């Protein structure tokens, strides 16, 4: 980080030196030192911004898997109020002529509409979810809460640090591939409906039913997800094999606990090509990934194939600690626009401080 200190400091420092040279009689030594101290403080502040920007770069999310442990109807304090009166007191003030004035000051008094409200909570190994109420008070049972089953799968997205994101070109593909699949890349799958997760990614417009595979995988990962720190995503496509590189660029690789399996299939779901990937280009998992890919050879994409591949992942997957790549922060280069902006701001701070020192006797 300190490598970029001169870029931020020098323009502001130049202002301090020039001011002393041009206005030696307006700026005492003490004022000059105060001016320099102000510039140093502002520079340190802006360097903290540079340091903090690296943390914004590595901010990422991962999908964590668990299961429902219970649900409950919970009485909570009423959140609805109405004006049911007022409280008043006499207030005396004195004007500029010393004359006292007394007036009555009142404030509205609020009362609860009900003795309690009701929350419909779902408990899981990953936290508590409160189902939206049907009525204002929450006395009516929500259908969504009623359909919750103990032990059903739960997924949540959680914040993690991903140092691989500092390597901005690591997952870049060619312009030819990028253009070929422009507008055809699906987004990374997100949690929906409180805690549900569809881990099957399909081509736009593809209506093939993979619910059975999705349900099976979600059930497997209820406990394996926490035990192995694992998340599995399947990408099903009829595009060519270079589609893999386009998706990896758009997704900036895989998440820390992901195993992503791509299946290039035909209309009969016969696998034409396959590619498996995990965090950091499959580091520590290359043999496992090759075995997963080999299982799809001359196969049809069905639950049997996925089950065979999952068994390999379950037995051999090794999650790579993120701290393994903390060294990437040493080689990280802040964006040019950020350095230029901070340098200009620091310059303006120095000009402002110089103006005050010259116009006012701050000493």
Q: Are residues 270 and 316 in the same domain?
A: yes
Residue 74 lies in a domain: yes
Residue 155 within any structural domain of the chain: no
Q: How would residue 335 be classed by pLDDT, with cut points 50, 70 and 90?
A: confident
Q: Would 194 be classed as within a structural domain? A: yes
Number of domains in the chain: 3
What is the Cα–Cα distance from 316 to 130, expressed in whole angstroms? Answer: 37
Q: What is the extent of the structural domain holding 354?
A: 2-60+331-359
Given a cut of 60, is residue 20 above it in pLDDT?
Answer: yes
Instruction: Give the pLDDT score at 179.
Output: 95
Q: Which residue has the tokens 């359909």?
A: 147
Is residue 162 within 8 Å of 197, Cβ to Cβ? no
Comparing 257 with 355, which gets the higher pLDDT? 257
The 8-class DSSP code of residue 167 comes to: -
- Residue 223 reports pLDDT greater than 90: yes
Examine the domain organization and report whether 86 and 10 are in the same domain: no
Tokens 């902006």 locate to: 341
Question: For the whole model, what pTM was predicted?
Answer: 0.78
* Helix, strand or coil, per DSSP, at residue 264: strand
Give yes or no for a contact between 353 and 33, defined as CB atoms under 8 angstroms apart: no
In a domain, 151, yes or no: no
- With tokens 């593809």, the residue in question is 206
**Predicted local confidence at residue 310, as pLDDT:** 97
**Structure-model confidence comparison of residues 21 and 292, the more confident one:** 292
Domain co-membership, 55 together with 105? no
Residue 27 in any domain: the answer is yes
Let me know: does 279 contact 324? Beta carbons within 8 Å.
no
Q: Quick one: 83 and 174 in the same domain?
A: no
Largest CA distance in the chain: 99
Query: What percent of the chain lies above the pLDDT cut of 90?
Result: 57
Encoded tokens for 211:
């619910």
Residues 121 and 253 in one domain: no
CA dihedral over 51, 56, 57, 61, signed as positive or negative? positive
Statement to judge: residues 222 and 349 lie in one domain? no
pLDDT of residue 2: 62
159 part of a folded domain = no
Same domain flag for 253 and 191 = yes
CA distance 63 to 279: 13
Residue 25 has pLDDT above 70, yes or no: no
Q: What is the DSSP string of 95-162?
A: -TTS-EEEEEEEEEEEEESSS-EEEEEEEETTEEEEEPPSSSS--SPPHHHHT--TT-EEEEEEEEE-
First-to-last CA distance in the chain? 34
Please report whether residue 137 resides in a domain. Answer: yes
- 184 shares its domain with 311: yes
Which among 79, 8, 109, 6 has a CA at the least distance from the CA of 348?
8
Q: Is 284 helix (H, G, I), strand (E, B) or coil?
A: coil
- Phi, psi (rounded to 5 degrees) for 99: -85, 135
Last residue of a domain, one of 146, 180, 208: 146
Alpha carbons 241 and 98: distance in angstroms, whole number: 88
Strand partners, 151: none
| 113 pLDDT above the threshold of 60 | yes
d(CA 148, CA 338): 48
pLDDT above 90 (res 349)? no
Task: Quote the tokens at residue 199.
Answer: 């881990």
Q: Report pLDDT for 26.
A: 64
Judge whether residue 351 has pLDDT over 90.
no
139 and 224 belong to one structural domain: no
Query: Most confidently modeled of 83-92, 139-148, 159-168?
Result: 139-148
> Are residues 246 and 298 both part of a single domain?
yes
Strand partners, 72: 121
Same domain, 176 and 313: yes
> What angle (nearest 5°) sits at the alpha carbon of residue 262, between those of residues 257 and 267?
150
Residue 361 has pLDDT above 70, yes or no: no
- CATH number for the domain that contains residue 269: 3.10.310
pLDDT of 350: 81
Q: Determine the Cα–Cα distance for residues 104 and 91; give it in Å rounded to an integer.
A: 6
pLDDT class of 360 with cuts at 50, 70, 90: low
Is 158 part of a structural domain of the chain?
Answer: no
Residues 203 and 297 in one domain: yes
């Amino acid at each position: 980080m300190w490598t970029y200190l001169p870029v931020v400091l020098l323009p502001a420092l130049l202002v301090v030196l020039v001011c002393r040279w041009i206005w030696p009689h307006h700026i005492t030594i003490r004022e000059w030192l105060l001016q320099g101290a102000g510039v140093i403080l502002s520079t340190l502040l802006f360097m903290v911004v540079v340091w903090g920007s690296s943390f914004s770069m590595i901010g990422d999310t991962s999908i964590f898997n668990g299961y429902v442990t219970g649900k409950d109807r919970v009485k909570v304090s009423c959140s609805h109020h109405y004006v049911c009166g007022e409280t008043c007191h006499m207030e005396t003030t004195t004007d500029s002529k010393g004359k006292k004035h007394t007036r009555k000051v009142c404030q509205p008094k609020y009362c609860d509409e009900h003795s309690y409200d009701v929350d419909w909570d779902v408990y899981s190994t990953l936290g508590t979810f409160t189902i939206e109420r049907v009525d204002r008070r929450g006395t009516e049972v929500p259908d969504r809460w009623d359909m919750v089953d103990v032990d059903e799968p739960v997924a949540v997205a959680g914040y993690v640090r991903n140092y691989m994101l500092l390597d901005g070109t690591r997952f870049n593909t060619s312009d030819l591939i990028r253009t070929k699949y422009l507008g055809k890349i699906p987004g990374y799958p997100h949690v929906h409906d409180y805690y549900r997760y569809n881990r099957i990614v399909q081509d736009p417009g593809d209506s093939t039913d993979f619910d059975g595979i999705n349900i099976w995988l979600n059930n497997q990962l209820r406990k394996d997800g926490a035990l192995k720190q694992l998340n599995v995503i399947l990408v099903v496509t009829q595009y060519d094999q270079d589609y893999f590189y386009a998706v990896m660029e758009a997704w900036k690789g895989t998440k820390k606990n992901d195993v992503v399996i791509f299946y290039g299939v035909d209309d009969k779901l016969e696998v034409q090509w396959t590619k498996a990937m995990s965090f950091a280009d499959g580091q520590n998992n290359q043999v496992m990934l090759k075995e997963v890919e080999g299982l799809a050879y001359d196969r049809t994409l069905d639950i049997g194939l996925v089950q065979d591949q999952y068994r390999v992942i379950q037995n051999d997957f090794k999650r790579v600690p993120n701290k393994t790549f903390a060294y990437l922060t040493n080689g990280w280069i802040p964006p040019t626009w950020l350095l230029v902006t901070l340098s200009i701001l620091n310059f303006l701070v120095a000009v402002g401080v110089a103006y005050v020192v010259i116009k006012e006797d701050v000493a």
